[in-house]
Structure 1
Amino acid sequence: MLIERNKYLNRMIDHKHNNRIKIITGIRRCGKSYLLNELFKNHLIEEGVKENHIIQLALDDIKYKKLRVADECYNYIVEKIDENSDKIYYVLIDEVQMLEDFVDVLNGLLHLKNVDVYVTGSNSKFLSKDVATEFRGRGDEIRMFPLSFSEYYKAYIDIEKKKLDNKNGEMGIADYARLTPDSVWADYCTYGGLPYILELDTDEDKMMYLKNLCVETYIRDIVERNKVKNVAELDSLVDIIASGIGTLTNAQKIVNTYASNENVKISVPTIKKYIEYLQDAFFISEAKRYDIKGRKYIGAPVKYYFEDIGLRNARVNFRQHEETHIMENIIYNELRYRGYAVDVGQVNIREREKDKLRKKQLEIDFVVNKGDKKCYIQSAYSIPDEDKMKQETKSLINTGDSFKKIIITKDYVNKKVFENGIVMIGLMDFLIEEDSLFF
């Protein structure tokens, strides 16, 4: 099954031959290996690169186990390279974090004049730290995410059409209804965007795949990498965060939850350490609070979102299907997929109550930045009446600046601009049109 990941492939192509290490990072099973070893390799072959000039190592494959040793790996690669050739050799290393002293190996390859290096990795802290320091400005990170909704939607339609073609069938009214963005959304917001989900036919298979992946791949990987002794504590933390996506929290609140719900004593430093492990593995992401009028970060509490909503749903056994919070998580992921920095906004106001001025803190779901582009976004599943509209617009109106202000709603709407400059966008329009925010 061919799934286009053109956003990432084009970035890799743009960075070819720049004498820097191209590092593709992201959560395991999001498609990094497929991007590197299928899509990019196919691009190289189409460009006329010969197979013997493409050196591939999948370090998570047992047959390459001996090459996880630095000297063995470096010598293996160098033996395949003719340093006198005027043709480029492309080195593609999958799961590079499994290679000991990988920084030394990669820096050594950079000294070869006819070598272009691409690697994948699944550990945020391990790689981003080294990109910034050890490579001394000679590493380019290409951050990869699970399928965005638009990627998922396109692949979903292609698969369904191929099924019909194989049956020599024609699209009927029921088929067209099943392939609308709203219909596909129901699948996406339940099972998320890990590519293999598209190869599974039944709900039972999808649910089992995600549940097993959480335990057998992600949690086990985190436990083994960080030598976690109390797995039950880490496991419970994941469940607590999964039950509270999109809500402000901090380590102390989580400690209190352990004490009240599970009668378990756990320290704040331990919780912070576990959260760091989950972030390093790209399992969850943190959105910090930003004081809009004060123009500064506030600190705790913060919000946590799951890198893939299907994994979150698996952690709560597909029971807590609050579409409001799920939609917020998906919008957050979509914004990051588009390359925006995303924070939670706070607006402090004074409001008169019973002849007294009282301080109030209003929240804006997302403060979005990229270069000179900035906007504020509220996620609202529906806006059924005027009271709900006032609730959603109050914080936006009180920012005191002229940056674009947007409400994204599940209710189908064409873009609407209100008198106060607030724009309303339908969720499907936002997810499918990548330039929907700054039109």
Structure 2
Amino acid sequence: MFSAVYPREKYLARLRNFYDSDIIKVITGIRRCGKSFILKAVINELLQKGVDESKIIYLPLDRRGFKNIKTPEQLEEKIESMITGEGFHYLFIDEIQNVRQFESVVQSYAEEGYSVFLTGSNSYLLSEEITTKLTGRYLSFETFPLDFQEFLEMKKFFKLKINSDSEKEFNEYILNGGFPKTLEFPDTSTRETYTRGIISEIFEKDVKTRKRISNIAVYERVQSFLINNYSSPFSISNLIDCLKNEGFSTKATTVRGYIDDLQKAKIIYECNRFDLKSKKAIRREQKYYLADMAIYFSTNTDNRMSFGPTLENLVYLYLRSHEYEVSVGIIGKFECDFIVRDKNQSYAYIQVTYTLHGEDEKTTEKIKEREYRPFRSIKDGYPRYIISLDKFQDQQEGVHHINAVDLFLGKVKI
């Protein structure tokens, strides 16, 4: 049994119904978001349920004693050496992309009835190779860095000091991010260094080794542009113009390829616009959100917080990590921050703002008009929400006003 593994219930709950299934379970997410520890938590649960340890095969392919496994033949030989007796087994393979052409091996064990769990590089696990070879035989479970509730629960789990002022804890969470290992480091500077290392590792292991980057300087500038313009409307033509002004000559197809690389590596998430009137997605001027706010703060010398875009990014991650489908809403001439749909196909409309209150009454009225106005064009009966950091609710026009921190801590729900 693995000791000191914080069980991330949000993800374990989604996996439990498939513990004994022969469908291959593929756990994806940005590097260092905790995928390996989710595997370990599943193993702990199985052992606690009484599963014999001999029926659990665990291969961490990036660890000593396993790093030399590079071919499907070596992988199968190692698995066979760990099988004790006949019958049902659980097979856990961490960092599966280290083995070339592994699909046929894991597929054969799944076909024999084994329960197979995989984690690995997103750039491979989301590529055409695996989707072609394992179509219909696997399910993907997307994971994210710690949300604010998990951040506090993990601190408590490891008996770390928690500030009694929840606002200070929330600010610390935003700046330091939700990569689990950062909790081991005592100061912001060390945590930022660690996060920058993750970005470098993703480039070296997920991007650079998967494809030849024709112009590293342009790639880095595209990455920097998207990181620095999170939560903002995006236009590829504007990005290309910026590159030209900085002396970079490149094609739109090249830039789109680099953006796709960043998405596959899970550094950024694309959120398309949805026209409520035409019921169609609009693939232009979409927005991009970061997998973790520490990606921005660790790569910028200015740590002053822009609460509006930051809060919008955090709400987006909350929605995605709770399995909502999320779009930027177009309602006539107005934009609604998010149109979301849950697993029951129920919709909701969401506006996100730092606060509904300005420095004086006139400014407050302008802010409220801006945030409530898009909702007035909605004719259906689906719920509407304004999410802010205000402690006191401002319920008007049938719109639910909720505090963001209360939402992140599970005290209220959408």
Matched with 2:376 is 397
SS of the residue corresponding to residue 26 of structure 2 reads strand
Q: Residue 125 of structure 1: CA displacement?
A: 6.2
Partners of 1:293 and 1:400 within 8 A in 2: no
The 10-residue stretch of structure 1 (5-14 or 181-190) with the greater mean CA deviation from structure 2:
5-14
Aligned counterpart in structure 1 of residue 336 of structure 2, from 353, 364, 367 = 364
| 1:181 equivalenced with 2:166 (yes/no) | yes
Aligned counterpart in structure 2 of residue 347 of structure 1, from 331, 345, 349 = 331
Matched with 1:7 is 10
Matched with 1:286 is 270
Q: Residue by residue, what CA displacement relative to the aligned partner does 1:319-340 show, whole Å, maximum 9, x if unpaired?
A: 4531211111111001000000
Q: Residue by residue, what CA displacement relative to the aligned partner does 1:174-232 show, whole Å, maximum 9, x if unpaired?
A: x7xx23332211111112111011111112211221122222x1222222222224222
Aligned-partner Cα distance in 1 for 2:318–2:124: 22
Aligned counterpart in structure 2 of residue 423 of structure 1, from 391, 400, 405 = 400
Aligned-partner Cα distance in 1 for 2:316–2:210: 28
| 1:300 equivalenced with 2:277 (yes/no) | no
TM-score (norm 2): 0.92
Aligned-partner Cα distance in 2 for 1:128–1:40: 26
The 10-residue stretch of structure 1 (133-142 or 402-411) with the greater mean CA deviation from structure 2:
133-142
RMSD between superposed Cα atoms in Å: 2.0
Matched with 1:110 is 110
| 1:91 equivalenced with 2:64 (yes/no) | no
Q: Residue by residue, what CA displacement relative to the aligned partner does 1:329-361 show, whole Å, maximum 9, x if unpaired?
A: 11100100000011101122xxxxxxxxxxxx3
Closer/same/farther in 2, CA of residues 244 and 320 from structure 1, 3 Å limit: farther
Aligned-partner Cα distance in 1 for 2:23–2:395: 45
Q: Residue by residue, what CA displacement relative to the aligned partner does 1:254-311 show, whole Å, maximum 9, x if unpaired?
A: 1111122x22112111110000001011110000011011111111111011111111
Aligned-partner Cα distance in 2 for 1:181–1:308: 19
SS of the residue corresponding to residue 186 of structure 1 reads helix
Aligned counterpart in structure 1 of residue 82 of structure 2, from 73, 80, 83 = 80
Partner amino acid, structure 2, of 1:145: F
Matches within 5 A, 1:52-63: 52-61=54-63, 63=65
Aligned-partner Cα distance in 2 for 1:319–1:428: 21
Matched with 2:360 is none
Aligned counterpart in structure 2 of residue 228 of structure 1, from 196, 213, 217 = 213
The 10-residue stretch of structure 1 (282-291 or 13-22) with the greater mean CA deviation from structure 2:
13-22
Matched with 1:265 is 249
Aligned-partner Cα distance in 1 for 2:204–2:294: 18
Q: Residue 101 of structure 1: CA displacement?
A: 1.2
Aligned-partner Cα distance in 2 for 1:236–1:319: 20
Matched with 1:126 is 125
Matches within 5 A, 1:63-74: 63-74=65-76
Aligned-partner Cα distance in 2 for 1:182–1:157: 17
Partner amino acid, structure 1, of 2:29: G
| 1:101 equivalenced with 2:101 (yes/no) | yes
SS of the residue corresponding to residue 147 of structure 1 reads coil
Aligned-partner Cα distance in 1 for 2:6–2:82: 31
Q: Residue 157 of structure 1: CA displacement?
A: 4.2
Larger Rg: 1 or 2?
1
Aligned-partner Cα distance in 1 for 2:204–2:186: 27
| 1:252 equivalenced with 2:237 (yes/no) | yes
Aligned-partner Cα distance in 2 for 1:410–1:374: 23
Q: Residue by residue, what CA displacement relative to the aligned partner does 1:234-263 show, whole Å, maximum 9, x if unpaired?
A: 111111112211111122111111122x22
Matched with 1:351 is none
Closer/same/farther in 2, CA of residues 433 and 41 from structure 1, 3 Å limit: same
Q: Residue 131 of structure 1: CA displacement?
A: 6.5
Matched with 1:358 is none
Closer/same/farther in 2, CA of residues 220 and 10 from structure 1, 3 Å limit: same
The 10-residue stretch of structure 1 (147-156 or 380-389) with the greater mean CA deviation from structure 2:
147-156
Partner amino acid, structure 1, of 2:49: E
SS of the residue corresponding to residue 64 of structure 1 reads coil
Q: Residue 51 of structure 1: CA displacement?
A: 2.6
Q: Residue 372 of structure 1: CA displacement?
A: 2.2
Aligned-partner Cα distance in 1 for 2:191–2:402: 31
Aligned-partner Cα distance in 2 for 1:318–1:141: 37
Aligned-partner Cα distance in 1 for 2:56–2:301: 43
SS of the residue corresponding to residue 91 of structure 1 reads strand
Aligned-partner Cα distance in 2 for 1:163–1:398: 48
Aligned-partner Cα distance in 2 for 1:134–1:34: 27
Partner amino acid, structure 2, of 1:103: E
Q: Residue 426 of structure 1: CA displacement?
A: 0.7
Partners of 1:95 and 1:120 within 8 A in 2: yes
Matched with 1:203 is 188
The 10-residue stretch of structure 1 (201-210 or 334-343) with the greater mean CA deviation from structure 2:
201-210
Matched with 2:140 is 141
| 1:387 equivalenced with 2:372 (yes/no) | no
